[in-house]
Amino acid sequence: MEAANPLWRNYRVGRELGSGSFASVRIAQHVRTGHNVAVKIINRHHTDEIVRREIDLFRLCAHPHVVRMYEVIGTPTDTNVIMEHMQKGELFDYIIGKGRLPEEEARRFFQQIIAGVDHCHRNNVVHRDLKPENLLLDGKGNVKIADFGLSETMEDGRRLRGFCGSMNYMAPEIFTGKGYGHEVDIWSCGAILYALLCGRFAFDGRSNSALLNKIKTATYTLPDDLSDNARDLIQKILVVDPARRITIHDIRLHRWFKQNLPIHLAFILPQHLNMLDNDIIEEVVTKGFERDDLIHSLQSSLQNDATVAYYLLLHNRPSNAAASSSS
């Protein structure tokens, strides 16, 4: 039975990492490469339109700072979503453990978050649930966006509606019922930056009504020892009127954001990047895959055994490895 199941044929499935009402997440080892992945196992009876949309959005938003989805394996009983294994867990737990972060460390996380969010927006995707619990850390301490379950695409000037997200990070325009756009994600990024720098919620209250009042009036306090540039950026993000809220373009140009900005984050990635790594391709070939078939699959954005091996090897290459060569 296991040999006929593509999940068990390609992966050694291990312990449970977490579970919900209709799904569980397990760690697994990819047989051909030996690298670990996370497998989200969803009962087929509950694989509804929301799950299918989330899978499509993960594919659309592939980026170094978005959790990678390697493949989807269907069985008679389950839909198995093979994801990048984020060894260091949630950014939320990291903040709880460390409290206020030094500005340099907070800036590094924020630069990566903005790069990922910017890529989503360029693909017309509004996340709608950005919060530290949905930002995961890999083994190298890099942050990546996860959980597109509440995300929506927004095209042709269409405004989104719907009350969704975590209230502490929700933008005030969500509560008006008049529709909203990608600016809600920018507000959430501001609330996340506040949490990184201050070690607490920007907006909190004894009741939902008290919390809502603070959000609608952008009532919050900043520590006295926060740098002027950090203070200025937060104040430009947490603006009630979305038309006056700073844009991602201007966040990227802000003095606090640009300080010590890694060169790979200083440039916006093309939406369809087809540069292939020759060294990784040759390593995949040694594992029994045909070179021409692999290149065709990669250039066609296909998901199969060969491309899964390619991306697992690429993403797990030591950080000091030689720069990629194009094919």
Per-residue pLDDT of the chain (327 residues; tens, 9 = 90+): 455 678 888 999 999 988 776 788 999 999 999 999 999 998 877 666 778 888 999 989 989 999 999 999 988 888 999 999 999 999 999 999 999 999 999 999 999 999 999 999 999 999 999 999 999 999 999 999 999 989 999 887 789 998 888 999 999 999 998 899 999 999 999 999 999 999 999 999 899 999 999 999 999 999 999 999 999 999 999 999 999 999 999 999 999 999 999 988 887 765 555 578 889 999 989 988 888 888 888 887 788 888 889 888 988 887 644 444 444
Binding site residues, as ranges?
40
Instruction: Tokens 């809220």: give the residue.
Output: 245
Annotated binding residues for ATP: 40
pLDDT in the model for residue 271? 53
Report yes or no: 123 and 73 within 8 Å, Cβ to Cβ.
Answer: no
Q: Where are the domains of the chain?
A: 2-84, 89-266, 278-315
What pLDDT is attached to residue 276? 83
Domain 2-84 matching CATH 3.30.200.20: the answer reads yes
Query: Residue written as tokens 């055994």?
Result: 305
Cα–Cα separations (whole angstroms), residue 208 to 164, 188, 211: 14, 18, 5
CA 97 from centre of chain: 21
pLDDT, position 44: 78
The Cα–Cα gap between 231 and 215 comes to 18
For the domain made up of 89-266, give the CATH fold: Transferase(Phosphotransferase); domain 1 (1.10.510)
Residues taking part in catalysis: 129
Measured in whole angstroms, the distance separating CA 214 from the mean position of its chain's CA atoms is: 27
Interatomic CA distance for residues 51 and 78, integer angstroms: 12
Q: What are phi and psi of 143, to 5 degrees?
A: -100, 140
Among the listed residues 297, 13, 319, the one whose alpha carbon sits nearest the alpha carbon of residue 139: 319
d(CA 218, CA 212): 10
